[in-house]
A and B are shown apart, each in its own frame.
Chain A
Amino acid sequence: MTRFSASPHPLMGRRALLKAVLAGAGIAAVPGLAACGSGDGGGGATDTVSFGNNQSDQVPKDAITAVLKSFEGESGLKVAINTKQHEQYQEQINNYLQGKPDDVLSWFAGYRMRFFAEKGLTGDLSDVWSKVSAGYEPGLKEASTASDGKQYLIPFVQYPWGMFYLKSVWQQRGYTVPKTLDEMVALSTRMKADGLAPIAFAQKQGWPGMGTFDQLNFRINGYQFHVDLMAGKEDWQGPKVREVFDTWKRLLPFHQENALGREWQEAAQSLQQGKSGMFLLGTFVAQQFKGQEEDLDFFPYPEINPEHGQDTVEAPIDGYMMSRKPSNPEGAAKLLEFMSTPAAQLAYIKADPSQIAASNKADTSGYNSLQKKAAQVIKEAAHITQFLDRDTDPRFASDAATNGINAFIQNPDDIDSILKGMADQAKTIFTE
């Protein structure tokens, strides 16, 4: 039971229910369920805010629960948490927002937020933003703003993507951080000679490969092209995308083989065991390196096109939205305001030190070295992207993009037909 609102202890009631059902009362006994499953259920109660939570892993779940507890103490309101498994939450989001969503709910910044905001499925947060905007950098405000100029998301935490490596391994072998693609190729060649898989790679879950595509794309073609391509305004069969895949193909021999059968956790383990040299992922990779965080370091993806240098960093933002018709609007606004405070964000990342607070007022002195680096990389970047599956139409990301990248990894020689397939689907999706 993740709801901690006081409800009559269910056990006795349950037993009675059980009896009733067993006695063959059948459907008549079902209504009791509602009472048992959902505490006081929100309804019209003005002292309760319902909260849709997608942090289902034990550690972050406990952390978010603690944050909401402190909100309860501060505001005198009650929070009813509805936790769903992380992936399940995303799969259901569409139906969830149209059905009976919770007042405040977890989501991501970028196109993925705009899509639902523009459909009128989530609530306007401009009022809340007018109170909290001093706490956010302009880039975060932009990432929370839909095309109508209003804000629909309160950023909570953020994490950058980068090339991860173990300092001890690199020191021992005398590797240095590559600044350009040529340097990375040279380094990879050396690693290969040393018997390492230069770049750890895993694509079984379908999304890590999107990260590689993004990095190559904005390093080669720049930030604006990334944005336009994701918005369906550029051609997937054009020479610019083609160059991205050609570059990737050149780098593929330096990537771990069999990526399609490997989960990223396994790739991280190979980095941990010194079997591979570097690994492109978000800082959440640190969760696999418990106790080793100080040895783990990362660098931004090397420069490819001098025109764009390393000016863009991929740093997805997680935050909270409000449903379109919250049963407790004032309470929801209060809770969202609370979630924008450094205190709430820092309390949360204490339990999950692989992320950093979204607020620029957060005190970074308590950060570990990885978090400090993450904060610095984000601060120095001229442009921030969210991630392929957060920057484009979800219909395109989950099907055409994922499967196109998979097909490329499997048959790098088929670039032409793969890109044609992606372009065709982009056309049907973005004109729909």
Chain B
Amino acid sequence: MTALQSPPKPAGTTDPSPSPRRGRRRATALAPRDKLVLGLMLGIPSLVHLVLVWVPAMGSIALSFSSWDGIGGFEDIEWVGFQNYVDIFTRYPRFWPAVQHNLIWLLFLIVVPTVAGLLLAVLLDRQLRFGRLYQSALYLPMVLSLALVGFIWQLIYQPEQGLLNNVLGTASTDPVNWLGDPDINLYAVLVAAGWRHTGYIMLLYLAGLKAVDPALKEAAALDGANARQTFFQVTFPVLKPVNVVVLVVTVIEGLRAFDIVYVINKGRNGLELLSVLVTDNIIGESSRIGWGSALAVILLLISLGFIITYLFQVFREEERA
């Protein structure tokens, strides 16, 4: 505790101890006991994470080359090479629509809630009467589970009984079948998903904006920049790390999307998503483990594209530091 009382040295002042460089931690020689403690502190969580996340993920990759109904021991597995992948690409009618829907889903989430969330965050990032009230209202949906969101929006989208058609006045004449019409239901569901996601993004940006030094903005204002210029030239660059977090969160959300369509119609008829196809094949009554795993690996490869881009980003940050 004594450490806390002694004032930390402001960054930038010369360090008394003979250390090589700032930023890079000096290679302190740790006592053996400390080494052991540190090893345990890192080792146990890493082991849990590896065994429960990475080992099964590798297992899925292996299983994707098999044909197996999930019953019996591992000796019952028949290995079929790339057959599952070939079949999925060439003769699985739901596959390409699902890929397309996943990409639309991602694109929508990356664009709409991000822009809306950023706008709301900028609007709310000031001394504002009722500011906190607005904030609370706007991020309220994000604490709801996607399953719940799916249910609530069904009450809105029902053709004859739903809120939307009644408000539009089309309920009695020619009700729009928001969730049943495969040409529009994906977008209807995206609105619901975006509804929940926007609050989250707003929150992340709000947190980021709070960290922008007000002096910077003042300086810009003194230089005669208008609000928009200030935003794009001063604020936005500072938000860059937040943008990365937003992107990651959005990609996770976009690729994991599952509960909401599953609740609405089991992900059929225009709402196919890769996650749904995987689930249908591996945990339903009918298990086609090899087939489902191959689909999962395809989903994994798509995620991996983003994961690598992201890690690259983190890496660079690390090197700059």
- Centre residue among A258, A393, A428 by max chain B CB count within 10 A: A428
Interface check A148, CB cutoff 8 A: no
Interface check B288, CB cutoff 8 A: yes
Q: A94-B286, A394-B285, A397-B286 are in contact. Are A432 and B69 (CB under 8 A)?
A: yes
| Complex contact B91–A91 (CB within 8 A) | no
Interface check A262, CB cutoff 8 A: yes
What sequence of 0s and 1s flags, for each residue 247-266 of chain A, a beta carbon within 8 Å of any chain B beta carbon? 00000000000111110000
A403 and B277 CA atoms in complex are apart in Å by 12
Q: A119-B71, A398-B280 are in contact. Are A432 and B288 (CB under 8 A)?
A: yes
| Complex contact B159–A399 (CB within 8 A) | no
A398 and B285 CA atoms in complex are apart in Å by 8
What sequence of 0s and 1s flags, for each residue 165-179 of chain B, a beta carbon within 8 Å of any chain A beta carbon? 000000000000111
Q: Which residues of chain B are near A205, meaning CB under 8 Å?
A: 265
How many chain A residues touch B (Cβ–Cβ < 8 Å)? 38
What sequence of 0s and 1s flags, for each residue 74-112 of chain A, a beta carbon within 8 Å of any chain B beta carbon? 000000000000000011111100100000000000001
Q: A95-B283, A119-B71, A398-B284 are in contact. Are A410 and B182 (CB under 8 A)?
A: yes
Interface residues of B in 58-77 (CB under 8 A from A): 67, 69-72
Q: A399-B94, A410-B269 are in contact. Are A261 and B179 (CB under 8 A)?
A: yes
Nearest residue (CB) in B for A397 is B286
Interface check A402, CB cutoff 8 A: yes
Interface check A424, CB cutoff 8 A: yes
Q: How far is the CB of B134 from chain A (nearest CB, A)?
A: 34
| Complex contact A98–B71 (CB within 8 A) | yes
- Centre residue among A261, A393, A403 by max chain B CB count within 10 A: A261
Interface check A41, CB cutoff 8 A: no
Interface check A3, CB cutoff 8 A: no
Interface check A206, CB cutoff 8 A: yes
A428 and B71 CA atoms in complex are apart in Å by 18
Interface residues of B in 66-99 (CB under 8 A from A): 67, 69-72, 87, 91-94
Q: A261-B177, A402-B268 are in contact. Are A94 and B91 (CB under 8 A)?
A: no
Nearest residue (CB) in A for B67 is A432
Interface check B266, CB cutoff 8 A: yes
Interface check B208, CB cutoff 8 A: no
Interface check B281, CB cutoff 8 A: yes
Q: A261-B159, A261-B177, A410-B182 are in contact. Are A91 and B71 (CB under 8 A)?
A: no
- Centre residue among B69, B93, B285, B286 by max chain A CB count within 10 A: B285
Interface check B243, CB cutoff 8 A: no
A399 and B92 CA atoms in complex are apart in Å by 10
| Complex contact B281–A399 (CB within 8 A) | yes
Q: Which residues of chain B are near A396, meaning CB under 8 Å?
A: 286
| Complex contact A206–B92 (CB within 8 A) | no
Q: Which residues of chain A are near B181, meaning CB under 8 Å?
A: 258, 260-261
A261 and B268 CA atoms in complex are apart in Å by 11
Q: Which residues of chain B are near A429, meaning CB under 8 Å?
A: 288
| Complex contact B285–A93 (CB within 8 A) | yes
Q: How far is the CB of A422 from chain B (nearest CB, A)?
A: 9
Nearest residue (CB) in B for A89 is B285
Nearest residue (CB) in A for B90 is A424
A204 and B284 CA atoms in complex are apart in Å by 18
The residue that A94 contacts in the complex, of B70, B178, B266, with Cβ under 8 A, is B70
A142 and B286 CA atoms in complex are apart in Å by 23
| Complex contact A258–B177 (CB within 8 A) | yes
Q: Which residues of chain B are near A407, meaning CB under 8 Å?
A: 93
The residue that B71 contacts in the complex, of A94, A112, A397, A421, with Cβ under 8 A, is A94
| Complex contact A90–B285 (CB within 8 A) | yes
Interface residues of A in 378-410 (CB under 8 A from B): 393-399, 402-404, 406-407, 410
Interface check A121, CB cutoff 8 A: yes
| Complex contact B180–A393 (CB within 8 A) | no
Q: How far is the CB of A4 from chain B (nearest CB, A)?
A: 28
| Complex contact B159–A398 (CB within 8 A) | no
The residue that B92 contacts in the complex, of A121, A204, A425, with Cβ under 8 A, is A425
Interface residues of B in 271-306 (CB under 8 A from A): 280-281, 283-288
- Centre residue among A112, A260, A262, A398 by max chain B CB count within 10 A: A260
The residue that A398 contacts in the complex, of B93, B180, B185, B286, with Cβ under 8 A, is B286
Q: Which residues of chain A are near B87, meaning CB under 8 Å?
A: 428
Q: How far is the CB of B148 from chain A (nearest CB, A)?
A: 16
| Complex contact A258–B180 (CB within 8 A) | yes
| Complex contact A206–B180 (CB within 8 A) | no
The residue that A91 contacts in the complex, of B159, B180, B284, with Cβ under 8 A, is B284
Q: Which residues of chain A are near B67, meaning CB under 8 Å?
A: 432
| Complex contact A421–B268 (CB within 8 A) | no
Q: How far is the CB of B162 from chain A (nearest CB, A)?
A: 11
Nearest residue (CB) in A for B272 is A403
| Complex contact B288–A260 (CB within 8 A) | no
Nearest residue (CB) in A for B71 is A119
Nearest residue (CB) in A for B288 is A395
A395 and B290 CA atoms in complex are apart in Å by 13
Q: Which residues of chain A are near B72, meaning CB under 8 Å?
A: 119
Q: Which residues of chain A are near B268, meaning CB under 8 Å?
A: 206, 402-403, 406
What sequence of 0s and 1s flags, for each residue 198-242 of chain A, a beta carbon within 8 Å of any chain B beta carbon? 000000111000000000000000000000000000000000000
Q: How far is the CB of B44 from chain A (nearest CB, A)?
A: 13
A258 and B183 CA atoms in complex are apart in Å by 12
Q: Which residues of chain B are near A404, meaning CB under 8 Å?
A: 93
Q: Which residues of chain A are near B269, meaning CB under 8 Å?
A: 260, 406, 410
A229 and B92 CA atoms in complex are apart in Å by 20
| Complex contact A421–B93 (CB within 8 A) | yes
Q: A98-B71, A206-B266, A260-B269 are in contact. Are A91 and B283 (CB under 8 A)?
A: yes
| Complex contact B286–A399 (CB within 8 A) | yes
A406 and B67 CA atoms in complex are apart in Å by 27
- Closest 3 A/B residue pairs (Cβ): A261-B180, A395-B286, A394-B286
Interchain Cβ contacts under 8 Å between A and B, 23 examples? A94-B287, A95-B70, A204-B180, A205-B265, A206-B266, A206-B268, A258-B159, A258-B181, A260-B181, A260-B182, A261-B159, A261-B179, A261-B180, A261-B181, A395-B281, A395-B287, A397-B286, A403-B93, A403-B94, A403-B268, A418-B93, A421-B91, A424-B91
Q: A262-B180, A432-B69 are known contacts; what are 5 more A-B pairs with Cβ within 8 Å?
A: A93-B285, A94-B286, A258-B159, A399-B94, A406-B269
